[in-house]
Structure 1
Amino acid sequence: MRNLLACLALPGVLLASPFVVAQDAAPNIVVLLFDNLGYGELGVYGGGALRGAETPRIDQLAAEGMRFTDFNVEAQCTPSRSALMTGRFPIRSGTYKVPRPGQPDGLTLWEVTLPELLSAKGYATGIWGKWHLGSSEERFPTQQGFDEWYGVPRTYDEAMWSASDVASGLTPAIGSKQGWDQKLAPAQFIYEARKGEAPKAVKKLDLDTRRTMDEEITQRATAFINHNAQSGKPFFAYVSFSQPHMPTQPNPAFAGKTGNGSWADVLAEIDFRTGQVLDALKAAGVEQNTLVVLASDNGGESTYPWQGANGPWRGTYFTAMEGSLRAPFILRWPGHVSTGKVSNEIVHIVDLYTTLAHAAGAEIPTDRAVDGVDQMAFFTGKQPKSNREGFPAYVADRLSAVKWRNWKLQLILQDDMYDPPQTLALPRLYNLLTDLREEHNVAAQNTWVITPMMSIVGALKTSLAKYPPIESGTPDPYVPSH
């Protein structure tokens, strides 16, 4: 139990911990976040050619930096992106599930986002792609710390609303009475926005514009990199790629490229777009002082015919199985992060908020619970172990599992996102080193493990009592009650 709460990275620990900047010049920060890229897709994670397309640029990125095999995300898109932006478990922020159209959604303006922290340190900040943390203009990214944005407020499956013909292969041909009517559900748009200016709806989100999103995201992100590199201003580039989120269809330039189908073509495009961003950093002369993160927000797609590959792990996203929680994560920072290293230490997406803020010399808010822990010493090799040993895993607002070291305690059973969640009468315990598929309950033989795992739950409950969570759909202005 030594330093248990510190190891578990639960609230209250970070509030008194000062940051020490490890370098003189603030690094540029680039986060390449793919949408539902499963653990088993990339070559360095056992995919690549096995999935129909090699991924040489991403594999090389891993060789030039550090690769993680126990990087954990939230079960759904909105919660993962909220965790990245706030360093807080989404159960605190009212962002614990994907919002339904027509309902209030998103982060309250009270939250202090990562781009807000970096902006205060003189960083230029940009996001391209999906936001998913606020559908109203009052909660668009340019109201939450970003200088510029090009992308969609919610999600890419809305591109299928207008696909009401057999040729699309997506929805059956039906009459207008039964089909989508934009009078009932307005068409969704791709927006362009700059801080201090009214956002503009550039074009409709449909299957055609969806196919070219990552090309446009890359063009705009690389232009941002070039501009700020020339000006000498540090920058935070949040490149929120659309692929391989359903409908998983490649850019026309990649259609048929692999000969192995649309999914493989998309995988080839993912690798190519990554290479374009990396090439832009090198060409701009800032590669050596840029911290690059490549990650996914969720496990692989589970809807036919776009199912992703989660490697050896069981389950789909929207569950608390390892196929949902474990995602690719590669970190490159020349001169700071070891090259070619692979770690199976537990890291959670909330930790990126705190660690990237540290890299920029920014201070973490002290008036709220922050769940992310500073992983700088671990990432840079000053210590061999992660500063996190476990975390609670929520699916929406249901505490579904707890992870601690190599152990997993399942409280709610759900293999697939389309399965009904079943609360277990007795929790099931799995040793993830010997039971990757979570098939053999060893709780009876290892009751001792329950103590540190329940300490995680207890500490979280205590913290939620001290810092009451924000209800989903809470309007602005929000003022905490504590």
Structure 2
Amino acid sequence: MTSKPNIVLIVADNLGWGELGCYGGGKLIRGAATPRIDALARSGMRLLNYNVESDCVPTRGALMTGRHPIRTGAFQSIPPGLPQGLTRAERTLAEVASDAGYATAHYGKWHLGDVPGRYPSDRGFDEWYGIPRTTDETQFTTSIGFDPAVAEIPYIMAGKRGEPSINVKVYDLAARRTIDEELVEKSKDFMRRNVRESKPFFLYLPLVHLHFPTLPHEDFDGASGMGEFADSLAEMDFRVGQIIDEIDALGLSEETLVIFCSDNGPEFRPPYRGTAGPWSGTYHTAMEGSLRVPFIARWPGRIPVDVNNQIVHVVDLMPTIAELIGGRLRDDCPIDGVSQLDFLTGRKPVSNREGFLFFIKDELRAVKWRDWKLHYVWEPYVNAGAKKLETPYLFHLIQDPKEETDILVRNTWVLGPMMKLVKAFKDSVKAFPNTPPGEPD
């Protein structure tokens, strides 16, 4: 028994809102059942309106800092060998947890820095194993004309606090199929070690599924009869179940907050297309299918069993967890997240936020406030050609969840509170200038 709750944060990669059974997907709709994650949802709080950033890097940066990526400069994926990630000035969730007395581990996809000084073990994690960038790179070594003299060979890496991170093995298509199994086994070992030492832990497990190429472990290959994507969905569900089983077997259920969520909307590349369920669009757009992703939180006796449509944003995770563990946030710059601890634990019936701004890279694309959505740029699906709008489009997301009918002309009153959000953000940028991408430490 520890005096502080353990934190287990599992983040799926490119998991759309409509994939899981508990979000309307599952076997009949997506070809594979998700019984373990569905059971997790039945034992905790399932959010229908949890929002993220446009893709992998910005969401992970927002999660780690509680700040929108436009502020940190971590707002796009960069090829290996070029400046990327969070500067050392940013304070990460792992640093907050470590300073609060937690053992910290990262197993999975980082994507917030791939040079010494910016690896997970340099940014608050006691240990890490996984990939510094992304899974696209598994295709490199078998691509036509691949030249390692001009493009870096991708590696699975590992590191410990105070030591250099090292290459473990090439991250190729074969390693793609087995990496999530490895991540889960290392996560289980980390939890066991800290139980023996009676130390609270923060486990960050950013899985690789369902990012393309969406290739399952051999144990799941062909299992669904519906192709590699469905097989991988089944594997992802199984891996989450393994983590839950280990927590329960260690007797940690009532002292462990488990969060399962996704980093962005569904995969859009054939043959690995995902779905956002009732929402339009995929990641890399400002549509609801990009913003809304699954979010489930379980903490028996502390988080009620519930389903709700209250707005929560990925930047809220940092201050929420910090409040829970007694962690310290930065006080020298704006923190965009708000603590949702009283909401998640049922002490307050509504979220602590009403809206947020949505950027893609450094361009303001949309504002979301209550049940309303205002688009400044129209891109209904990825690579459709972003169209800057002279007059914004306004949608009511309850009456029009697919964002099909602009009703601004009859509801211009909504511009008032939305413009106040925009002004407040612009004023904060004047006082605390944004960090440009590629900024050195």
Q: Which category of TM-score, normalised to the shorter sequence, fits these structures? A: over 0.9
2-structure distance, mates of 1:398, 1:99: 18
| TM-score normalised by L of structure 2 | 0.98
Amino acid at match of 2:199: K
Q: Deviations over 1:197-235 (max 9, x none)?
A: 111100001000011010000000111011111211000
Amino acid at match of 1:200: I
2-structure distance, mates of 1:189, 1:475: 23
Offset, 1:101: 3.0
2-structure distance, mates of 1:440, 1:200: 53
1-structure distance, mates of 2:141, 2:157: 18
Aligned to 1:25: 3
Asked if the contact 2:80–2:152 (Cα under 8 Å) also holds between the matched residues in 1, the reply is no
Q: Does 1:214 align with 2:193?
A: no
1:226 to 192, 197, 207: 192
Aligned to 2:221: 255
Offset, 1:455: 0.8
Offset, 1:43: 0.4
Asked if the contact 2:139–2:173 (Cα under 8 Å) also holds between the matched residues in 1, the reply is yes
Asked if the contact 1:211–1:251 (Cα under 8 Å) also holds between the matched residues in 2, the reply is yes
2-structure distance, mates of 1:98, 1:184: 18
Aligned to 1:167: none
Aligned to 1:442: 407
3-state DSSP of counterpart to 1:139: coil
Q: Does 1:380 align with 2:345?
A: yes
- Within-5 A mapping of 1:3-402: 25-49=3-27, 50-164=29-143, 174=144, 179-339=145-305, 341-402=306-367
Offset, 1:419: 2.3
Q: Deviations over 1:24-51 (max 9, x none)?
A: 9310000010000000000000001121
Q: Deviations over 1:257-288 (max 9, x none)?
A: 11111111111101100000001111111111
Q: Deviations over 1:427-456 (max 9, x none)?
A: 000000011110000000100001001111
2-structure distance, mates of 1:40, 1:214: 22
Offset, 1:100: 3.0
3-state DSSP of counterpart to 1:104: coil
3-state DSSP of counterpart to 1:263: helix
Aligned to 1:456: 421
Aligned to 1:419: 384
| TM-score normalised by L of structure 1 | 0.90
Asked if the contact 1:230–1:284 (Cα under 8 Å) also holds between the matched residues in 2, the reply is no
1-structure distance, mates of 2:140, 2:379: 28
Aligned to 1:432: 397
Aligned to 1:12: none
3-state DSSP of counterpart to 1:138: coil
Q: Deviations over 1:285-314 (max 9, x none)?
A: 111100000000000011121111110110
Aligned to 1:468: 433
3-state DSSP of counterpart to 1:316: coil
Asked if the contact 1:123–1:235 (Cα under 8 Å) also holds between the matched residues in 2, the reply is yes
Asked if the contact 2:47–2:310 (Cα under 8 Å) also holds between the matched residues in 1, the reply is yes
Point out 4+ residue stretches in structure 1 off by more than 6 angstroms: none
2-structure distance, mates of 1:371, 1:310: 26
Asked if the contact 2:44–2:298 (Cα under 8 Å) also holds between the matched residues in 1, the reply is yes
Q: Deviations over 1:456-478 (max 9, x none)?
A: 111000001111000100001xx
Q: Deviations over 1:152-201 (max 9, x none)?
A: 1110001011223xxxxxxxxx5xxxx11111102110001000111110
2-structure distance, mates of 1:402, 1:229: 44
Asked if the contact 1:26–1:361 (Cα under 8 Å) also holds between the matched residues in 2, the reply is no
Offset, 1:362: 1.1
Q: Deviations over 1:69-97 (max 9, x none)?
A: 00000001000000000000110000111
Task: Say what the alpha-carbon RMSD is for the aligned residues.
Answer: 1.0
Asked if the contact 1:94–1:107 (Cα under 8 Å) also holds between the matched residues in 2, the reply is yes
2-structure distance, mates of 1:198, 1:96: 26
Offset, 1:383: 1.0
2-structure distance, mates of 1:97, 1:202: 26
Aligned to 1:171: none
Q: What runs of 5+ residues in structure 2 fail to find an aligned partner?
A: none
Q: Which is worse superposed, 345-354 or 130-139? A: 130-139
Asked if the contact 1:129–1:150 (Cα under 8 Å) also holds between the matched residues in 2, the reply is yes
Offset, 1:136: 0.8
Aligned residues: 439
The percent identity for this pair of structures is 49
2-structure distance, mates of 1:222, 1:230: 13
1-structure distance, mates of 2:301, 2:415: 41
2-structure distance, mates of 1:359, 1:26: 9
1-structure distance, mates of 2:51, 2:139: 29
1-structure distance, mates of 2:345, 2:231: 35
3-state DSSP of counterpart to 1:162: helix
3-state DSSP of counterpart to 2:60: helix
1-structure distance, mates of 2:287, 2:37: 26
Q: What runs of 5+ residues in structure 1 fail to find an aligned partner?
A: 1-23, 165-173, 477-482
Offset, 1:421: 1.3
Amino acid at match of 2:45: M
Offset, 1:351: 0.2
Asked if the contact 1:229–1:285 (Cα under 8 Å) also holds between the matched residues in 2, the reply is no
